[in-house]
Amino acid sequence: MTGEPFYVTTPIYYVNDSPHIGHAYTTVAVDTLARFMRLDGRRVLFLTGTDEHGQKVDKSARDKGIDPQTFCDTVSQNFRDMNVMMNVSNDQFIRTTEPRHIAASQALWLELEKRGEIYLGKFAGWYSVRDEAFYEESELKEGKAPTGADVEWVEEENYFFKLSAWRERLLAYYDAHPDFIAPRARRNEIVSFVKGDLRDLSISRTSFKWGVPVPGNEKHVMYVWLDALTNYLTAVGYPDTDAPDYKTFWPADLHMVGKDIIRFHCVYWPAFLMAAGLPVPKRIYGHGWWTVEGQKMSKSLGNFLTAGDLVAKYGLDPLRYFMLRELPFGSDGDFSHRAMVGRINGDLANDIGNLAQRVLSFVNKNGGAQVPTPGAYKETDEALLKAARDLLSKVRAEFSEQSFNKGLETIWQVIGDSNRYVDSEAPWTLRKTDPARMATVLYVLMEAIRHVAILAQPVMPQSMAKLLDQLAVPAHQRDFAALDTALVPGTALPKPEGIFPRFVDTVPA
């Protein structure tokens, strides 16, 4: 595979939890981007996986009476299964308990130690096991972490990373790379955190064993976040900086994460990398948080939505579409049945589904079930074709900034234009009065649909593949370079089938 490299990652998920819609969201957003870049000729490395060390995982395993490794094996598999179910096209799935990752984490530790960035000291402070994070006294709210998680007082001998020494260099880095942290609100949040009282960071623990052993002092295991962040390097072959994947893909183009973990990615991670003399990733995107029917998702509230439940109820591609279309990417949003059904019946069944169905069944019945032969174009035809051909550059710009909702809106404008064009050109009338003109109108519509289907593939791969099948577009002409080709008149077309059925509530809402 040639093309400009694009390395994109999801967070690696803790194995203490079953996969839910939040995990599916991040992974589908990254999957969409990875698919988009591949179709756009880029050489993509898409990494996801599971974060298996630390006190939280250790505790979850113990609570179940299972040894941590067996527990991790089971739960990690659930995340792999989620990827298959969500049609996720990851190139690698990493687990932090793999030997290659333990080796990479220890190598990074030794590099930091060699460069004088680590010292042994005594830690006394607040720790939240749920967040796997240290908090300052001043950050606590009514005795809890700002996230609402319980905190405990920890006093241990710990190794520290000289984070405070990196304050000015971090700020200079943010200044010199205005697109490093997105969206803008997150950037401001990080800059003010770093401008505040940035203390040295405890990077080892002694009170439990479930972690990567600190090289040279096996009383300590590495702080789970130092180990976890290193996964992005492990996957490209670190510590072998001559490894082909390292050379091709590092630094990563994008770490996609939820807003809950931007401090780790935008402060600690670049500081560790700079301190180890390694290049820093190009961009971190902290997306928003989903609630469910207006409430925070939690097991105790019983509103914990697994991706599996949602796929079974609404269908895979409608769910993928909803997640990326419903919210301005970056903002928080609410998952509600009503909003989901609105998108299925509106954007999918009515807008694109109906357009495809009415055009393709008309061609099937009245056009000999083959791609029509167009005559000379009128202004209205040229206008719709131009709108379709202009899509790629617009959608590319929007997806490159992770504005998925805007990219989809742009595609849906052409769907709207096409529906208006069908109404105004009225091929059913032309059938009797001017069959040659009818053929031109149908051809223009099919070309518009072809553009839409090719560009919507990253979001809805299965449904758009079906639609492209119905347009008889060969498999090798479905990438973005093929947008410049055109449907060949006379090509036989299969019998069309509806792609997006309406969602009918069995129980009235």
- Is residue 246 within 8 Å of 153, Cβ to Cβ? no
Instruction: Return the residue matching tokens 């009515």.
Output: 350
25 or 500, CB closer to ligand ME8?
A: 25
Query: Which one of residues 30, 39, 163, 257 is an interface residue with ligand ME8 (CB under 6 A)?
Result: 257
In this complex, which beta carbon is closest to ligand ME8, that of residue 303 or of residue 364?
303
Q: Nearest approach, Cβ of 258 to ligand ME8 (angstroms)? A: 3
Tell me the one-letter amino acid at 411.
I
Residue from 157, 260, 293, 479 touching ligand ME8 (CB under 6 A): that is 260
Rounded to whole angstroms, how far apart are CA atoms 51 and 227? 9
Q: CB under 8 Å to 302, separation ≥6 — which residues?
A: none
Residues 6 or more apart whose CB falls under 8 angstroms from that of 437 comprise 375, 430
Between 229 and 467, name the residue whose CB sits nearer to ligand ME8: 229
The smaller minimum CB distance to ligand ME8, of residues 235 and 483, is found at: 235
* CA–CA separation, 85 and 508 (whole Å): 29
The one segment of 16-24, 66-74, 209-217, 341-349 that binds ligand ME8 by CB under 6 A: 16-24
- Both tokens of 273, joined, read 């990398």
What is the smallest separation between the CB atom of 53 and ligand ME8, expressed in angstroms? 10
Least distance (Å) between residue 23 CB and ligand ME8: 5
Which tokens in the block code for residue 15?
């194995």
| Interaction of residue 228 with ligand ME8, rule CB under 6 A | yes
Quote the least distance from Cβ 50 to ligand ME8, whole Å.
8
What letter represents residue 49's amino acid?
G
Q: Name the strand (E) or helix (H) holding 226.
A: helix 224-229
Q: Choose the binding region for ligand ME8 from 8-16, 62-70, 184-192, 321-329 (rule: CB under 6 A).
A: 8-16
The reply on whether position 270 binds ligand ME8 by CB under 6 A is no
Residue 88 vs 371, nearer CB to ligand ME8: 88
Burial level of 277, CB count in 10 A (0-12/13-18/19+)? exposed
- Candidate ranges 23-31, 36-44, 155-163, 490-498; the one touching ligand ME8 (CB under 6 A): 23-31
**Quick check: 25 binds ligand ME8 (CB under 6 A)?**
yes
**Interaction between residue 268 and ligand ME8 (CB under 6 A):** no
- The CB-nearest residue to ligand ME8 is 22
Residues 6+ away with beta carbon under 8 Å from 502: 344, 345, 349
Strand partners, 122: 157
The residue type at 451? H
Q: Is 23 within 8 Å of 307 (Cβ atoms)?
A: yes
Size of the site for ligand ME8 (CB under 6 A): 20
Tokens (6 digits) for 456: 């919507």
Taking CB under 6 A as the criterion, the residue among 31, 36, 37, 51 binding ligand ME8 is 51
Q: Which of these ranges, 6-14, 69-77, 116-124, 176-184, lies near ligand ME8 under the rule CB under 6 A?
A: 6-14
Q: Which stretch binds ligand ME8 (CB under 6 A): 13-21, 241-249, 356-364, 426-434?
A: 13-21
CA-to-CA separations, 226 to 82, 117, 128, 242, 447, in angstroms, rounded = 26, 13, 16, 23, 51
d(CA 45, CA 246): 11
Q: How far apart are CA 260 and CA 100, in angstroms?
A: 28
In the complex, which residues of this chain contact ligand ME8 (CB under 6 A)?
Answer: 11-14, 17, 22-23, 25-26, 51, 228-229, 231, 257-258, 260-261, 289-290, 297
